[in-house]
Structure 1
Amino acid sequence: MPKPLALTSGEPAGIGPDITLQAWLRRDELKLPAFYWLGDAASLDRRAKVLGLNIRLVEGGPEDANEIFPHALPVVPTGHVASARPGHPDDSSAGAALASIRQAVKDVTDGRASAVVTNPIAKNVLYRAGFRHPGHTEYLAELAATKNFTPQPVMMLWSPALAVVPVTIHVSLREALAQLSSELIATTARIVVAGLKSYFGIAHPRLAVSGLNPHAGEDGSLGAEDKTIVAPAVDLLRGEGLDVRGPLPADTMFHEAARQSYDCAICMYHDQALIPIKTLAFEDAVNVTLGLPFIRTSPDHGTAFDIAGTDKPNPSSLIAALRLAARMAATKTT
């Protein structure tokens, strides 16, 4: 039997508890893989009561989750109490959320879980508590680092309609321009190719690389970066035998016919990648972190404090994240 998925609590005051409960309730209907929730069982029970749900929670270890899952929602305690009410994070929020992430990573690296699936965190809440990372991805990389291995995580947004990767992520446009280099583009692309081979079963991944400037620079008349930074990276990758095209005008890369010509689009900055996928697949897009020594997926949305504790949160993206994590674990070849 496959090992269960480790599902983090996310921000306790956000919609993570809501969509977790909804996903478990639909486990039979959707034939979901077994997962366990890492956090404070009392806080999850309170949320179930707020939602009017009669859900049995059973505490145990990861090794008990497969047996518990068909009849109750397995909860693995982290030792951190979460007292936050829906929509109102408090002093317990940051510690509870981070403890859940740390334990999930430990469980998967120790072989007790097959993958990490993370519920949304509230970065502003974490920052107030002294969190020094831009987000989940960078924190996971720190947790995965060893004396002999420093991961370079790559954020991929995946859906059945489109997969995209931004080369620069959670930085301003000014900083994105400063960070962008041929080496960063090439390294990102190599990690994507390895991930598509190992976890998605694509033997010969096809990558489409966007230009930075309008019309991919129009041969330098709209900016030199596409000729001096992007094109050399594409040439280098093609010289290594990879199926890579670009730089391509970003405004013509995402229509239906264009999407059939590649397996993943490599984009130069955050919004260039995320706007098209959130337009095409807002409810079922999944955030996947490549370049880590374990599988990590996450819903592609935030904490939605304004609807936490109501019947409005949609669990579709979490359900897609759980399914994709299980699929990646089953496909994994290295």
Structure 2
Amino acid sequence: MKKIAISIGDINGVGPHIALLEHNNIVNICHPIYCVHQEILQNACEILHIDLPKNMEFSPPSARVIPISPGKLEAKSGQYSYASFLEACSLAQTKQVHSICTLPIHKKAWHLANIVEVGHTDVLSKLFKKKAIMMLGCKEMFIALFSDHIPLKDVSAKISFRELTDFLVQLYKCVKMNKTLVLGVNPHCGDDGVMGSEDSIIDNAIKLANEIIAKEVFVGPFPPDTAFSPKNREKYHFFVSMYHDVGLAVLKALYFYESINVTLNIPILRTSVDHGVAYDIAYKNRPNTQSYLNAISMGVQHGIFNE
């Protein structure tokens, strides 16, 4: 049975509750190793009035044990979630586990803890000195993001012919998809330059990427406002979005609970839930665990998104 390291996420959010709720289910498909101190999950159980499962294996991070403050944004919970993630990465790098699965962090908590990386994907890019690719979705639809956690005002400047071409080629090497629809960036893809020149760069990058691959994999650019029409979603399983919210707004509207996050173009397999810490319901309401179960399943199968 494959071992999966589970980064616990922000302990003030829903991560620990999700891990506890589904432990007895996921042990049927993998051997989970929780990157958290047992005392912290025991604290979570006391708050939730449940028993700690007896067969949990722990690999505590190099951080001190802290109390849970349900729903509270704190630097110390941000620091702990960062340490938990690094512990999971270490287990994967040393091949003690097959893959890692991350529960949600809060980026502001990381910022308060003086962590310079914006999130998991940024850490992985720096750790492996490679441009990690963020792809989110489920069996119905996957969205790869050319730019992920950057401000909207910086997106246009990031769209360069060389960088986008390399992104598309690397994405294909990771996934080996048959056809992928690439979204433009301006309304109507710029209407032949009337509303910006970025879409012509995207068009040229698509052409060169297909030449390098020696196969017409990438199609577009296609106007973002009609890219996800029912007809296109029947025809295409994979999409590339130039900007985070353009792609993910549609994905989360359609498949909010089912979707997961997977990091490509790095030497380890990392999957994640596709939702946040949900401070508003943490330790109060039962969280939806479907994204977590799907992320674990993908970590075990290692290739569920292939066509």
Question: Of the candidates 214, 237, 244, which is equivalent to residue 187 of structure 2?
Answer: 214
SS in 1 for 2:302: helix
Q: Hey, what does 2:61 align to over in structure 1?
A: 78
User: What is the one-letter code of the residue matched to 1:77?
Assistant: P
Q: Hey, what does 2:131 align to over in structure 1?
A: 152
**Matched-pair contact (CA < 8 Å) for 2:26–2:293:** no
User: What is the one-letter code of the residue matched to 1:205?
Assistant: N
**Matched-pair contact (CA < 8 Å) for 1:156–1:165:** yes
Q: Hey, what does 2:291 align to over in structure 1?
A: 317
Shift in Å, 1:302: 0.8
SS in 2 for 1:294: coil
> Deviation above 4 Å: which 4+ runs of structure 1?
329-332
Q: Hey, what does 1:16 align to over in structure 2?
A: 15
Alignment of 1:37 with 2:37, yes or no, is: no
Give the distance between the partners of 2:189 and 2:280, measured in 1 at CA: 40
Question: Of the candidates 216, 241, 245, which is equivalent to residue 219 of structure 2?
Answer: 245
Alignment of 1:285 with 2:259, yes or no, is: yes
Q: 1:214 to 1:100 in 2, by over 3 A?
A: same
Question: Of the candidates 51, 67, 84, which is equivalent to residue 100 of structure 1?
Answer: 84
User: What is the one-letter code of the residue matched to 1:234?
Assistant: I
**Matched-pair contact (CA < 8 Å) for 2:20–2:53:** no
1:27-176 → structure 2 map (5 Å cutoff): 27=26, 31-57=28-54, 72-80=55-63, 81-143=65-127, 145=128, 150-176=129-155
Given the two structures, how large is their TM-score scaled by the length of structure 2? 0.92
**Matched-pair contact (CA < 8 Å) for 1:166–1:272:** no
Question: Of the candidates 225, 229, 242, which is equivalent to residue 198 of structure 2?
Answer: 225
What is the aligned-residue identity percentage?
28
Give the distance between the partners of 1:91 and 1:179, measured in 2 at CA: 31
User: What is the one-letter code of the residue matched to 2:157?
Assistant: A
Shift in Å, 1:89: 4.4
Given the two structures, how large is their TM-score scaled by the length of structure 1? 0.85
Q: 1:6 to 1:129 in 2, by over 3 A?
A: same
SS in 2 for 1:116: strand
Between the two proteins, the alignment pairs up a number of residues equal to 303
Shift in Å, 1:238: 1.9
**Matched-pair contact (CA < 8 Å) for 1:285–1:300:** yes
User: What is the one-letter code of the residue matched to 2:278?
Assistant: A
Q: What per-residue deviation string (whole Å, max 9, x for no partner) do you get for residues 222-244 of structure 1?
A: 332212x1111011112222311
Q: What per-residue deviation string (whole Å, max 9, x for no partner) do you get for residues 242-285 of structure 1?
A: 31111111122213321232342111111111111101110011
Give the distance between the partners of 1:5 and 1:271, measured in 2 at CA: 30
Q: Hey, what does 1:64 align to over in structure 2?
A: none
**Matched-pair contact (CA < 8 Å) for 1:156–1:166:** yes
Give the distance between the partners of 1:263 and 1:256, measured in 2 at CA: 12
SS in 2 for 1:13: coil
